[in-house]
Chains A and B, each alone.
Chain A
Amino acid sequence: MNNGKKILFIGSMGAGKTTAISSISDDPPVTTEAMNSARHISDKQTTTVAMDFGRIYLDQFDAIDLYGIPGQDHFDFLWPILEKGALGAIFLLDCSQGDIPETLDRFCNAFARLRDNNAIVIALNRTDQHSVQRCQQWLFDNNLTLPLILSDPRERTDVLMLLELLIANVEAELFSAGETQ
């Protein structure tokens, strides 16, 4: 049934990773939620402590596995484990929390293989004009051309669009890599 396509959802605590996976997963998602004791960082009641897992079926034979990372820094030991074999990542960024360039730096460096393969789509939520400009500036400063999209992780159509965009980008990269070889 599943040929092993794996997509990651990355980003800080409260960015909407668990919500995004729940929005599109065809199977009931597996979540690992615990009581959130860091309420000064994010006011939500629970937080992911190991991973989220969902699956979306493309057709009778093909599916994509959706993995969400735990976003807090002390769980960074899990990030390389979850990243193994991933085709790409949807990077959810809540622009109302934290320092935007620092968050972009942190996650793009932690998932450097995906960043270098142009296999990350940055999905912004809770944005304003200023925050979008800061993201664009950060991409420019870092000489990156990752797609930057406004989206709502609660909206299935928004998340599906991100997924399609990511897969199209990954396929284009693979195609161009094949061309140059």
Chain B
Amino acid sequence: MNPTDNPVFSPTLKVKCDALLNGYTDDDHHLEFLSLSTSDGYILAHSRSESGLLNCRRISAMSSSLSGISIELAKETRNTNMEGSIIECETGFLICRLVRTDGIDAVLLGVFSKESNHGMALWTLKNIAKSISEFLTVYK
């Protein structure tokens, strides 16, 4: 199924979310890419990527799988209310964060360059998630 076939994705919502995410990546040079997906792996929005070669469909599905595994791993270790997970790489790091609203459960993925640091990246993505949550609540 084409991701745009999903009724969650009205064209208006997608355009507004894309613009929102592009605003964040334009403002922060350490934030290379943002992707917003439903928790079941459909693309909701994503920022422009520098290379333009990223497969956003796969990234959305992988983000939701990572969140699903992270939630269960947290439960298995007797932790509750998983909020996010981090992948560290030599070239930077990725942070996945749940964005829960009344209407949509979403997953926000942020890709940060190695020039960023954990604290700053976590703080940045937490604030973006809060803004998106407010935006989606208003939109609903």
Which A residues form the contact surface with B (CB < 8 A)? 30-41, 47-50, 70, 72-75, 77-78
Q: Is the CB of B64 within 8 A of A49?
A: yes
- Which chain B positions have C-beta within 8 A of A50? 65-66, 68-69
For B3, B40, B69, B71, the residue with the greatest tally of chain A CB atoms inside 10 Å of its CB is B40
Q: Is the CB of B65 within 8 A of A37?
A: no
Q: Is the CB of A77 within 8 A of B42?
A: no
Query: In the complex, what's the smallest C-beta–C-beta distance from B102 to chain A, in angstroms?
Result: 11
- Which chain A positions have C-beta within 8 A of B69? 32, 50
Q: Is the CB of B41 within 8 A of A74?
A: yes
For A37, A47, A70, A78, the residue with the greatest tally of chain B CB atoms inside 10 Å of its CB is A37
**Complex Cα gap A153–B58 (Å):** 30
For A38, A40, A41, A47, the residue with the greatest tally of chain B CB atoms inside 10 Å of its CB is A38
Query: In the complex, what's the smallest C-beta–C-beta distance from B77 to chain A, in angstroms?
Result: 13
Q: Is the CB of B6 within 8 A of A38?
A: yes
**Complex Cα gap A38–B67 (Å):** 18
- Which chain B positions have C-beta within 8 A of A31? 72
A38: nearest residue on chain B (CB-CB)?
A: B6
Chain B residues within 8 Å of chain A by Cβ, number = 26
Q: Mark B5-34, 1 if CB is under 8 A from A, else 0.
A: 011100000000000000000000000000
Given contacts A34-B67, A34-B105, contact A72 B40 (CB under 8 A): yes
Given contacts A37-B104, A75-B61, A78-B65, contact A30 B8 (CB under 8 A): no
Q: Is the CB of B7 within 8 A of A49?
A: no
| 10 pairs of residues in contact across A and B, judged by CB atoms under 8 Å | A32-B65, A35-B38, A35-B105, A37-B39, A50-B68, A73-B1, A74-B57, A74-B60, A75-B41, A77-B61
**Complex Cα gap A44–B33 (Å):** 32
- Which chain A positions have C-beta within 8 A of B38? 34-35, 37
Query: In the complex, what's the smallest C-beta–C-beta distance from A18 to chain B, in angstroms?
Result: 12
**Complex Cα gap A74–B68 (Å):** 15
Query: In the complex, what's the smallest C-beta–C-beta distance from A109 to chain B, in angstroms?
Result: 18
B61: nearest residue on chain A (CB-CB)?
A: A74
**Complex Cα gap A35–B68 (Å):** 11
Q: Is the CB of A49 within 8 A of B8?
A: no
- Which chain A positions have C-beta within 8 A of B71? 32
**Complex Cα gap A114–B46 (Å):** 37
- State which residues 55-111 of B face A: CB under 8 Å: 57-58, 60-62, 64-69, 71-72, 76, 104-105
- Which chain A positions have C-beta within 8 A of B1? 38, 41, 72-74
